[in-house]
Amino acid sequence: MRLHNYYVYILTNDKRKVLYTGITNNLERRVYEHEYRLLPGFTKKYNCHYLVYYEYFNYVNDAINREKQIKRWRREKKIFLINEFNPEWRFLNNELLKGFKY
């Protein structure tokens, strides 16, 4: 069985007020698309393009289920999850996109 790459991720805006949860099979590309506002919708409208959290999965169903789970959570629980992973709420875009070419 071939393994795949899937990611559940959380983005925020520059004031860390808005949270967006998404799923992708290419985290670098997706963060780039959000950062340069190439995707219409919520993240473009609310300037939500800073990566603060992500999880990796081999199976798409696991990633979809996790995304749905996180989306059902209250904001406080999402903040707790981010704090466990990234206590300073560093914007991880530069680390992730270093050397990335679209």
CA 68/CA 16 separation, integer angstroms: 21
Q: Is 86 exposed, middle or buried (0-12, 13-18, 19+ CB in 10 A)?
A: middle
Q: What predicted TM-score, i.e. pTM, was given to this entire model?
A: 0.93
Q: Map out the domains of the chain with their CATH numbers.
A: 6-97 (3.40.1440)
What is the per-residue pLDDT across 58-78, written as a single tens digit (0 to 9) for each? 999 999 999 999 999 999 999
CA 92/CA 78 separation, integer angstroms: 17
What is the per-residue pLDDT across 10-52, written as a single tens digit (0 to 9) for each? 999 999 999 999 999 999 999 999 999 999 999 999 999 999 9
